[in-house]
Amino acid sequence: MSLPDDLFLVGHVLDAWGVRGWVKVAPDAPDAAALLKAKTWWLSRPGFEDAAPFPVRLARRHGSALVALFEGMNDRNAAEALRGRQIAVRRADFPPPGDDEFYWADLIGCRVRTPEGADLGEVTGLMESAAHAILRVQIPQPGTDAKPRERLIPFVDAYIVSVDLPSKTIVASWDASYD
């Protein structure tokens, strides 16, 4: 079976939970909405070479973690064998975000521009600070042998003017001299 091209890592298996085949899962996001909605999880060892689909029979919150039972899994030994596996789900299985909410996965690859149209770079990732998310933007470099540089732009209303996902563009009120 071929891997879907829209898989995103969303957590990992911590351990077996109980004796009937359940696993305890650490989600990467506090709300774990994608894990709770998806009917199939793709599990793999780090590196994702051995990813395989696991149909989810039941999944629910358990404190800050989740517990889940896969179709056909009914004993602790099978669940223990999954310890440490990464979990991915299809982007198509994510629930729709609320108004003015965005999945980080959708922001990666967006071009960041000033309101005047100056190119600030491309979003290569995000990171969480104690207060808010921060865009990691690779600065465009003249020439091909220049070492890539990165600027960090807080993903807050004070700096983010607009996000247009269909055109993969973020407009930020940011001056290059802030770097």
Greater confidence (147 vs 112) lies with: 112
The answer to whether 170 and 135 have CB atoms below 8 angstroms apart is yes
Buried/exposed 113-126: b ≥16 CB within 10 Å, e otherwise: beeeeeebbbbeeb
Residue 113 sits in a domain whose CATH number is: 2.30.30.240
Q: What number is the average pLDDT over the span 128-132?
A: 88
Last residue of a domain, one of 47, 67, 93: 93
- Summary mean pLDDT of the chain: 92
55 and 74, same structural domain?
A: yes
Provide, rounded to the nearest whole percent, the portion of the chain with pLDDT above 70.
98
Is position 125 within any domain? yes
Element (H, E) at 106: helix 104-107
Is position 1 within any domain? no
How many Å apart are CA 126 and CA 133, to the nearest integer?
7
Last residue of a domain, one of 55, 70, 93: 93
88 and 13, same structural domain?
A: yes
Residue 57 sits in a domain whose CATH number is: 2.40.30.60
Number of structural domains (the chain) is: 2
pLDDT at 5 over 70: yes
pLDDT band at 138 (very low <50, low <70, confident <90, very high): very high
126 and 68, same structural domain?
A: no
pLDDT number for residue 144: 65
Is position 18 within any domain? yes
88 and 16, same structural domain?
A: yes
pLDDT digits (tens, 9 = 90+) for 65-120: 999 999 999 999 999 999 999 999 999 999 888 888 898 889 999 999 999 999 99
pLDDT at 39 over 90: yes
pLDDT number for residue 50: 87
pLDDT at 32 over 70: yes
Greater confidence (113 vs 147) lies with: 113
Question: Which structural domain, as residue segments, surrounds residue 132?
Answer: 104-174
pLDDT at 2 over 90: no
The whole model's pTM is what? 0.75
Is position 99 within any domain? no
Q: Is 177 exposed, middle or buried (0-12, 13-18, 19+ CB in 10 A)?
A: exposed
The three state secondary structure string of 22-68 is EEEEEECCCCCHHHHHCCEEEEECCCCCCCEEEEEEEEEEECCEEEE
Last residue of a domain, one of 68, 93, 118: 93
